[in-house]
C-alpha cells in the first residue's frame, strides 16, 4: 500500500512524459497545419504559428484535390466493407453452427492465412488483376482489401455467432424458420455488436491500405487518400502545411471508428484469454 501511495504521483508524471514523447508527431501535425507556407519553411523551426492559418483546412479541398481522394477512399472502403460482410457472415455462420467434414481445418487455415503478407502475393496478384483488366479501378482495391480481411473477420464473427445460445436458433427452426431466415432474423440481430466490429474493421483496413493502391492505381482520379498524400510528399516543393492539414482530416474518421472497436479488436487478436 505504501508503494502505491508514493507510486501514484510518479506514475502520473511518467505517463505525461511518455505521452508527450509518443504524441510528438501529432503535436507537430497540429502546429504545422496552422502555419503559413513561409512559416513552415523557416529554419530553425518553431512550435507556435505566428499567424493562425485555419484556412489551410479549407484550401486543402480546392488546391490539393482532397475531395477527389476523399471520394475514392470512401468508395473503396465502403465497397470492400460491404463485400467483406457479404462474404464473412455466411462463412462465419457455417463454421460456427454447421457440422461438416473439414470444419476445424478451415478454422485453422483461416487463422494462419489471416497473417498472410500482402507483399508476398502482390507480384502475382498484379498479374491476376491485370488479366481481369482491373488495373487502375476501384474494384481492384475493393476486391483485394475485402479478400485480405475475410479470414480475420470470419474468425471474429464465428466467435460472436458461437456465443449465441443454440436453443434460440433451434426454437426458431422448430417454429418453421428456414436456415436463411434464422440467420437474417435471429442470429444477425443478436450479433449486431460483432457485425459492427467486423464492418468497422474492414472499413478501416481499406481506408489505411497503401501497398495495393500503390501497385494497382495509376490515375490521380482514383487514388485513395493515403496514396494521394504519399504522392504529394514526392514533389519537389511539398506544401507541408496543406499535407499536415490533409493528414489531420484523413485521420479523423479512422480514429473515431477505431475507438468503437478497440477493445473487441484486442480480444479478437489475442484470443480467449482477453475479454472484450
Partner 1 sequence: MRDFRAAATIPLRQRLWNPEARLAYLLLAPAVILLLGFMIYPVVYVFLISLFRTNKLAQLKEFAGLKNFVYQFTDKEFWQITARSLYWTAIAVAVKAVLGMIVALLLNVKYAGRKVARMLFIVPWASAVPISSILWRWVYHPEYGLLNATLKATGLWANPPTWLGMPLPAFTACIWVDIWIGIPFMALVFLAGMQAISEDLYESASLDGVNGLQKFFYITLPGIRHLVLIATLLSCLWTFNDFNTIYILTRGGPAGATDILITKLYKNAFEFLKFSPAAVMAVVTFFILTGLAIAYARIYFRQEQGQ
- Report the site for partner 1 in 3-62 (rule: CB under 8 A): 3-4, 7-8, 11-12, 14-15, 18-19, 22-26, 28-29, 31-32, 40-47
Q: Could you say which residues in the range 241-260 bind partner 1, by CB under 8 A?
A: 243-244, 247, 250-251, 254-255, 258-259
Does residue 203 contact residue 257 with C-beta atoms inside 8 Å? yes
Q: Kindly indicate which of the ranges 53-61, 83-91, 164-172, 184-192 contains the residues binding partner 1, using the contact rule CB under 8 A.
A: 83-91
> How large is the C-alpha radius of gyration of the chain?
23
**Residue 189 binds partner 1 (CB under 8 A):** no
Handedness of CA 174, 177, 183, 189 (dihedral sign): negative
Q: Could you say which residues in the range 60-79 bind partner 1, by CB under 8 A?
A: none
**Residue 144 binds partner 1 (CB under 8 A):** yes
Q: Kindly indicate which of the ranges 63-71, 91-99, 166-174, 190-198 contains the residues binding partner 1, using the contact rule CB under 8 A.
A: 91-99
Nearer to partner 1, 175 or 259 (CB): 259
Sole residue written with cell 496552422: 34
Provide the 8-state DSSP code for 220: G
Choice from 60, 81, 150, 187 touching partner 1 (CB under 8 A): 150
Cβ 121 to partner 1 shortest distance, Å: 4
Q: Kindly indicate which of the ranges 48-56, 138-146, 165-173, 193-201 contains the residues binding partner 1, using the contact rule CB under 8 A.
A: 138-146
Cβ 109 to partner 1 shortest distance, Å: 9
Cβ 126 to partner 1 shortest distance, Å: 8
Choice from 229, 239, 245, 264 touching partner 1 (CB under 8 A): 229
Q: Kindly indicate which of the ranges 60-68, 142-150, 167-175, 187-195 contains the residues binding partner 1, using the contact rule CB under 8 A.
A: 142-150
**Residue 122 binds partner 1 (CB under 8 A):** yes
Nearer to partner 1, 64 or 240 (CB): 240
Q: Is the preceding peptide bond at 44 cis, omega within 30 degrees of 0? A: yes
Q: How far apart are the first and last CA of the chain?
A: 30
Q: Kindly indicate which of the ranges 51-59, 64-72, 104-112, 168-176 contains the residues binding partner 1, using the contact rule CB under 8 A.
A: 104-112
Choice from 37, 58, 67, 86 touching partner 1 (CB under 8 A): 86
- Cα-Cα-Cα-Cα dihedral of 92, 187, 203, 274, to 10°? -70
Cβ 123 to partner 1 shortest distance, Å: 5
Q: HSE-up of 75 (CA within 13 Å, CB side)?
A: 15
Cβ 37 to partner 1 shortest distance, Å: 11
C-alpha cell at 230: 504519399
Amino acid at each position: 500500500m505504501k508503494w502505491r501511495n508514493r507510486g501514484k504521483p510518479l506514475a502520473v508524471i511518467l505517463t505525461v512524459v511518455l505521452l508527450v514523447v509518443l504524441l510528438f508527431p501529432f503535436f507537430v501535425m497540429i502546429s504545422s497545419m496552422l502555419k503559413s507556407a513561409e512559416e513552415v519553411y523557416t529554419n530553425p523551426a518553431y512550435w507556435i504559428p505566428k499567424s493562425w492559418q485555419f484556412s489551410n483546412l479549407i484550401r486543402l479541398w480546392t488546391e490539393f484535390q482532397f475531395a477527389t481522394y476523399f471520394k475514392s477512399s470512401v468508395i473503396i472502403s465502403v465497397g470492400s466493407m460491404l463485400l467483406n460482410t457479404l462474404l464473412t457472415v455466411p462463412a462465419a455462420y457455417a463454421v460456427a453452427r454447421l457440422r461438416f467434414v473439414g470444419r476445424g481445418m478451415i478454422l485453422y487455415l483461416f487463422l494462419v492465412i489471416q497473417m498472410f503478407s500482402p507483399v508476398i502475393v502482390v507480384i502475382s496478384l498484379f498479374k491476376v488483376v491485370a488479366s481481369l483488366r482491373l488495373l487502375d479501378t476501384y474494384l481492384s482495391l475493393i476486391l483485394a482489401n475485402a479478400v485480405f480481411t475475410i479470414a480475420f473477420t470470419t474468425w471474429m464473427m464465428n466467435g460472436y455467432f458461437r456465443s449465441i445460445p443454440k436453443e434460440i436458433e433451434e426454437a426458431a427452426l422448430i417454429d418453421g424458420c428456414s436456415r436463411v431466415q434464422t440467420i437474417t432474423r435471429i442470429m444477425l440481430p443478436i450479433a449486431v455488436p460483432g457485425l459492427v466490429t467486423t464492418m468497422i474493421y474492414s472499413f478501416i483496413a481499406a481506408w489505411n491500405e497503401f501497398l495495393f493502391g500503390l501497385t494497382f492505381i495509376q490515375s490521380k482520379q482514383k487514388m485513395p487518400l493515403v496514396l494521394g498524400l504519399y504522392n504529394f510528399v514526392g514533389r519537389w516543393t511539398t506544401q507541408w502545411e496543406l499535407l499536415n492539414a490533409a493528414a489531420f482530416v484523413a485521420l479523423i474518421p479512422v480514429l473515431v471508428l477505431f475507438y468503437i472497436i478497440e477493445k473487441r479488436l484486442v480480444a479478437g487478436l489475442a484470443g480467449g484469454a482477453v475479454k472484450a
